[in-house]
A and B are shown apart, each in its own frame.
Chain A
Amino acid sequence: QKEVEQDPGPLSVPEGAIVSLNCTYSNSAFQYFMWYRQYSRKGPELLMYTYSSGNKEDGRFTAQVDKSSKYISLFIRDSQPSDSATYLCAMYDYKLSFGAGTTVTVRA
């Protein structure tokens, strides 16, 4: 079993819809939880991070962490075609462990 599990999708939604992404993990030592966005043929870039349990909001993006359930989520409100990308969750104890990534397409 992988330390970080993420449904690879793909996920296709119409413009304006809410996108919901999630990951589960098994390592209780993870303290920092991140979401990276990767456009096609590019390197990943950090989108958001949270420390321990709780919510964090940044514009149209909301990250949630539930350590008791070992479950993290990313929500994208009012999705735009420019949000079309692969979203990777990542978690940190002494190194980053990445999920497989979920490919999202937002249709205009």
Chain B
Amino acid sequence: DAGVIQSPRHEVTEMGQEVTLRCKPISGHDYLFWYRQTMMRGLELLIYFNNNVPIDDSGMPEDRFSAKMPNASFSTLKIQPSEPRDSAVYFCASSPSGGTSGANEQFFGPGTRLTVL
């Protein structure tokens, strides 16, 4: 199994541009999570999906952020327009189950390092 796949691995863009991050979860996992990691705030949950349905988006910082999961094998996180304070590493993670037992492991992808100039 290839694990969670994220693309691109690095993204450098200018303020105001649209950024789209992509994630392919592990096959058979029905939960998908998007996290953001910064030195100042650590690892923060942005949104998570169960069976392609968004369950909790309370961590999405503002309306400039949106996430979709059109099918079980693909999700996107979009920032439009991007701002320098969005610079961070964005992780996607998947889990075979995550709603009722914290013991179920979340598998993280390698992350996308986003720099907004």
Binding between chains A and B: yes
Q: Contact: B102 with A34, CB < 8 Å?
A: yes
User: Considering the chains assembled together, what is the distance between the CA atoms of A97 and B45 in angstroms?
Assistant: 8
Q: Would you call A43 and B102 a contact (CB within 8 A)?
A: no
Interface range on chain B (Cβ under 8 Å from partner): 20 to 34
Contact B110 A100 (CB under 8 A): no
Beyond the given A46-B106, A96-B45, please list 16 additional residue pairs across the A-B interface where CB-CB is below 8 A: A32-B101, A32-B102, A41-B110, A44-B91, A45-B107, A46-B105, A49-B102, A91-B102, A93-B102, A95-B48, A95-B56, A96-B102, A96-B106, A98-B42, A98-B44, A100-B42
Give the size category of A's interface with B: 20 to 34
Which 7 residue pairs spanning A and B have beta carbons closest together? A92-B102, A32-B102, A43-B108, A98-B43, A100-B42, A46-B105, A44-B108
Tell me if B25 counts as interface (CB < 8 A to partner A).
no
Question: A43-B4, A43-B93 are contacts. A101–B43 as well, Cβ < 8 Å?
Answer: yes
- Asked if B43 contacts A88 (CB within 8 A), the reply is yes
A51 touches B103 (CB 8 A): yes
* A residues in contact (CB < 8 Å) with B: 31-32, 34, 41-46, 49, 51, 88, 91-101
A37 shortest CB reach to chain B, Å: 11
